[in-house]
Every structure is written in structure tokens, then in C-alpha cells.
Chain A
Amino acid sequence: MSEQNLTIVQAVRDGLYTEMNLDDEVLVMGEDVGKNGGVFRATEGLWDEFGDDRVIDTPLAESGIVGTAVGMAAMGLKPVPEIQFSGFMYPGYDQIVSHMSRFRTRTRGRYTLPMVLRAPYGGGIRAPESHSESKEMFYAHEAGLKVVIPSTPYDTKGLLISAIRDPDPVIFLEPKLIYRAFRGEVPEEDYTVPIGEAAVRREGTDVSVFTYGAMTRPTLEAVENLEEEGIDAEVVDIRTISPLDRETVVESFKKTGRAVVVHEAPKNGGFGAEITATIQEEALLYQEAPVKRVAGYDVPYPLYALEDYYLPSVARVEEGIREAVDF
């Protein structure tokens, strides 16, 4: 298998390219995805390769994008609409929750929606207002959707191909802070990374740290720093927010008895609460310390002069881990 060294955003592009080559029913649509190749270059060159009918610049209208993609998918096409920033998904929210998530159930499986709604999400890139929030739980709360957040170039391509092939609708959130932060080996061929499976990024015995997306890196860095203090932490990259791989979470926790959850989304009603509840339900007797949540604060996301204080930093993650270990 030949490999290439790609960033995450290049892996997105490569995943789209690979799958569009294999399946004529796959098409890309959204704002500036055509000739411009996407504002983050996630669709670069696809328009030249596949033309106007498969890489479609749409009017500037998120509900229209999601809603027409629903109609296309009901007819059996596999649209991959892009919302330019996740902060602009809300005009399409009614389409997502009233239709995208419900079509299979509403029609008892006669109509399914094999579509993937992609959006760059999250903070840390000094972006203007409304460009930095993390709202993955809006979608995780919606039965009928799958919510995927990759953290490596390899996973990005493999998960995106899985998402496109999935008969059900997938929300694919791309952590834009690490779009170009590093490179990784990515096979040129098509391959899949299964949706619904977490990945243990580092094995350890003292504490389990659960995270995903852009927070995976500061978490790994914090864990490495804590080695000097004699803390041996396990890091689990959740990868699929919904459906959650509870088995891997519980298995890791049973080994360590302590847990920290790291995410940039607000703490209240956040993903950390779901992990905490899972541990309570399934591994209470193994628990040796309260679950520590290192998360965004429950305030509106600040303008970027303060965003570094808002986002979990390496030091905050370290402190959270110490708290869980020292309890």
C-alpha cells in the first residue's frame, strides 16, 4: 500500500477524492467548495477532477444545503454537504433534527439518508466571533445521527470513507485547530476506520483520560509531562461521540479506577457528563476518585484574545489529572 504524508485537512480532501472516484453517487456541495476548493482547501482540486455536477457551489443558505441534501439522499444519492464553519449550522438545524435524523424511523426504513454533513469546528485559530464553538452534543443528543470527530490524518480519511458508506446520516466534525498542525501517514488507497470504536492512544495504569478531536494533542502532551511525576496515564481517543464505544471506556476505567475527561465544549451537559454517567452505571465499584472534567467554561465562547484561557491547556489537563490521581 503506498502512503502519503498528509495533514488532517488534506486527509479530508483525500478521503473525498478517493470515495468520489469509487462511487459515482457521491457528490460534494456547499459554499465555496467548487472552484475555490473550500475556505480551508478541504475540497481543493475536486471541482477540476469531477466537475460542476459533483462538486457543487450552492447559494449561501445552510438550511437549503442540508434540506436539499436530504432530498437527494432520499433519492439514493450520497451527498456530502459542507457547512463552512460549524457556527453556521444553526440555520440548517431544523433540517438536521426534524428530518436528517428521523427519515429512517419515520418511513420505517423505506427512505434512508446516506449523507455526511461535514463542518470544521472548535476553537484555537484566532477566528472571528461565532467561528470557534464546539456544539457536538447538540447532534449527539439526536437519535438517528452518528457524530464523528477525528484527531489524526489516518483516522480522518478512514472515518470519512466509513461515514460516506454508512447508510445512515453522519455529522462529521473536523477539528480545525489541528487541520494543519501535523502530518501523518495516510494510505493512498481506500480504507475504513470503523465508526463507533474508540482508540487507546497511550496505555497506562493510573488514570484514564478520555478525549477527542483537537484536545487529543494537549492531553497526550500533558500525560507525557506527568510521566516525570510518576503518573502513568492511559489516553483514549473517543473518535465517535455517538454511538459511544462504552466498552472501551469501561474497560479502560476498570483498569485504572480514575478518570479525566477533556473537551473544549462547555462542561454543562457536555460529553464529560456522558462518560461520568457511563462509569457510574457500569463500573462504580472500581471507582477510586471523582471523575474530573476539564472542559470549556459555561460562558459564551470568548473572542480570541482570551480563547487560550477558555480552552483546556496542557497545564489545565495536567492539573486535572493530578487531581484525579491525588484524590
Chain B
Amino acid sequence: MSVLQRDPQDQVQVLDENGAVVGEVPDIDDETLVEMYRNMRLARHFDTRAVSLQRQGRMGTYPPLSGQEGAQIGSATALEDDDWMVPSYREHGAAMIRGLPLKQTLLYWMGHEKGNEMPEGANILPPAVPIASQIPHATGAAWANKLRGETDTGVLCYFGDGATSEGDFHEALNFAGVFDTPNVFFCNNNQWAISVPRERQTAAETIAQKATAYGMDGVQVDGMDPLAVYSVTEAALEKAKNPGEGETRPTLIEAVQYRFGAHTTADDPTVYRDDEEVERWKAKDPIPRMETFLRETGRLDDEKYDAIQTDIEETVADAIEAAESDPRPDPTEMFEYAYAEQTPEIRAQREEFEALREKVGDEGFLRE
């Protein structure tokens, strides 16, 4: 029986909190397993550095991901090259795997539109800030692929527990059910929508069980167990592309996890949750779990560990340097992309702007 066809209350787990194998280890080669571990650590290190950049005034508001590396890396690793990713705004780790350089993520949160310029061939839509608004896009994208007969590509969409209260969650999953689109809806249930707990979002026992109402499978997974996340995502993507007899394509995955830090750097979580709760969840940290697993199965040793440490520090330092040395965008860029062809109004406004800038200089505009 597929890992997806189980009671939504029956959480899938491969590694327990101590990294001991308690479920079926997915069929992943050694190199990829170590790569997943490396990527989780890279995401964590990136996150720590990004928060500190914000604190030092070198970057604007930033939404941290610490604690959610298992869900992000586990799911994104399951994507094949042709699959698509539709993120919310916290999936820096997942987006990195999909081909969005860390430099771009930094630039985006530094307020550069260029951060959103997805490299050609990276099948990823830009981050969506309005909650749940990206979920219908994922349905539409998968639907478009299906209408074109391209059902060998799946579309993986991320959103949080708060998003499941929005109308767009309902509409998107309802459309996906009705039109049987090749989607994987991946809910990062991190327990808190800023300060509002998961219990205030729904009286349902699980988010996964909502899938039943849309005529699709719903599965709950330990979102801090990268191997379990990989297993369910991989199975859901496979089903999206090649549903078996009597199966429907779309799946709702609820990845149960915890946001260790703040909602964004503008948020102070100590106001609404206590340390004891945070510590309880930190015991489930995906990174040491994976490390234990890799060490105990002979895939990781101290030497490799140190090499990874050096590598991720360099990678993040390089990304920060690259982002910070990127010049301030040319202000006339804001007139460039509104329409394929510049309208007379925009052209006139651009000319007016350029003439004024010529006259008063950048100091006539800049507030710092």
C-alpha cells in the first residue's frame, strides 16, 4: 500500500527524534543522502547569517526558516528536473535546490527586484507574499500541463498552516480535485501563523484530513524528518504523474514541524509562546537527526562533517558578498517591466523622472 493511503492522523516517520530508523528508508543513493544533510545545514547557516544581516541593518525584514529545513530539503530533493515549485515566502532552502541562487534570495529581501529574476530553466515561480494566493497558481500551472498532455511534470506548492484558513486554499484544492491536476500541496504546518496557534486556524484534528473533502489523498508527515518528507513527497509526485487504478493525481501533505525563530525579523515570538514549548520542538531538530542517521550508517564521518562546514560557510559568505556588492538597481528599471511595450504614460513619467534626476541628483530622492 502506498505511503499516501493511510489515515491522516497516522503520521509518517522514518527517523525518530534521535535519528534511529523507525520506518522504511527511501531509496536514495548515499551521495544524495549526504547532499540532503549538507543542504539542510546550508539552509540553517544561511538563515542564521540572514537574520544577523537584518539585525546589522544590512538587509530588510526577513522570514527565518530554522527548524523547517527537513520539510524544505526533504520535499525539494524529491522533485525531478521538469517538475515545478510554487513557493510562499519562507522556502529559501527549497528554492535554492530548485536553482535559485542564495544571492538572489538575499537580493530579494534587500529590496532588489532582481532577486525575483528566476534563472532560465529553474522551474520555480516567484515567492508569493499574500497568504495562500500562490496555491491557485500551482493548480493552474499543473492544469495547464495536463491540458497540454504533459502529465510527466508535477507541481509542488508550499504554504503554511495559516494559509489553510484562506479561501484561496479551498478554491485551489477544490479545482485540483475537480480537474484532477498533477499537484502536490505541501503544507508547512509550523504551528504558528505569526502569533495565532494552529488550533485557531481549524477545529479539524489534522490539516491532512481536509484532503478528503476535495477528493484527494491527505497524509501527515513528521516535517522534521527529512527522509519521511522525501518519501511522501516522492510518492505524491509519482502519483500526480502516474496515478494508479482508482487513484487521483493531487495530494495534500501536512508536514508537522516548528518554526524555531520568529515569523519575520519584525516579530518577537516570546510574546506569544514560551521557551518550554520551543525547547520541546528543538529536540526534534531535523539536522542532528539526519546526522545521527548518516554517522550510524557509515555515510558521514568527522572529516566529511568538517568539509561540509567549510563548504557551507564559504558558500554563504560568497552569496552575501555577491549580494552586497551588487550595485543599487538603476532606478529607471522600475519603468521597464510593467508592460511588454512601454505605454505613453510610463514613457512620459520616465522622461520626467530622468530629467528631474539629472537636475537634483540622487540626493534629491534618497532618504539616507
Is B139 a contact of A68 with CB atoms below 8 Å?
Answer: yes
Closest to A58 in B: B175
Decide yes or no whether B282 CB sits under 8 A from chain A: no
Q: Which of A71-79, A148-156, A210-218, A291-299 contacts B (4 or more CB under 8 A)?
A: A71-79
Q: How many residues of B contact A (CB 8 A)?
A: 42
- A66 closest partner in B (C-beta): B136
Interface status of B203 (Cβ within 8 A of chain A):
no
B155 to chain A: closest residue by CB: A71
> Contact: A105 with B147, CB < 8 Å?
no
Question: B337 within 8 Å of A by Cβ?
Answer: yes
Which chain A positions have C-beta within 8 A of B116? Answer: 106-108
With contacts A71-B144, A74-B125 known, is A108 near B113, CB below 8 A? yes
Also in contact, A95 and B133, with CB within 8 A (given A68-B140, A75-B141): yes
Cα-based distance from A98 to B148 in the complex (angstroms):
27
The answer on a CB contact under 8 Å between A105 and B175 is: no
Q: Which of B116, B168, B339 has the most CB of A within 10 A?
A: B339
Most A Cβ at <10 Å: residue of B133, B337, B344: B337
Do A64 and B147 contact each other (CB < 8 Å), given the known contacts A104-B337, A105-B338, A244-B345? Answer: no
Given contacts A75-B144, A112-B340, A244-B345, contact A70 B136 (CB under 8 A): yes
Q: Which residues from chain A contact B145 at a C-beta distance below 8 Å?
A: 75
CB distance from B307 to the nearest CB of A (A): 35
Tell me whether B338 and A143 are in contact (CB under 8 A): yes
Q: Is the CB of B113 within 8 A of A106?
A: yes
Q: In this assembly, does A124 line the interface, its C-beta being within 8 Å of a C-beta of chain B?
A: no
A184 contacts chain B at the CB level, 8 A cutoff: no
Instruction: Let me know if A246 and B344 touch, CB within 8 A.
Output: yes
For residue A112, which residues in chain B have a CB less than 8 angstroms away from its CB? 340
Cα A143 to Cα B350 in complex, Å, equals 14
Instruction: Report A120 CB to chain B, min CB distance, Å.
Output: 22
A99 within 8 A of B: yes
Asked if residues A67 and B168 are in contact (CB atoms below 8 Å), the reply is: yes
Cβ–Cβ < 8 Å partners of B175 in chain A? 58-59, 61, 64, 68
Check B141–A246 contact: CB distance below 8 A.
no
CB within 8 Å of A: which B141-169 residues: 141-145, 147-148, 167-168
> Contacts A63-B168, A105-B337, A246-B344; is A74 near B174 (CB within 8 Å)?
no
Inside 8 A of B338's CB, which chain A residues have their CB? Answer: 104-105, 143-144
List residues of chain A with CB within 8 A of the CB of B130: 94, 98
A108 with B337: CB separation less than 8 A: yes
Q: Which residues from A are CB-within-8-Å of B140?
A: 67-75, 79
What mask results when residues 80 to 107 of chain A are scored 1 for a CB within 8 Å of chain B, else 0?
Answer: 0000000000010011001100011111
Within 8 A of A (CB), among B105-158: 113-114, 116-118, 120, 125-126, 128-130, 133, 135-145, 147-148
Chain B residues near A (Cβ < 8 Å): 86, 113-114, 116-118, 120, 125-126, 128-130, 133, 135-145, 147-148, 167-168, 170-172, 174-175, 178, 336-340, 343-345
CB-defined A-B contacts under 8 Å, sample of 21: A61-B167, A61-B174, A64-B136, A64-B174, A69-B140, A72-B140, A72-B147, A74-B141, A77-B147, A91-B167, A95-B133, A95-B136, A98-B128, A99-B137, A103-B126, A104-B337, A110-B118, A110-B120, A111-B126, A144-B339, A166-B340
- Which residues of A does B touch, CB under 8 Å? 27, 53, 58-59, 61, 63-64, 66-77, 79, 91, 94-95, 98-99, 103-112, 143-144, 146, 166-168, 196, 243-244, 246-247
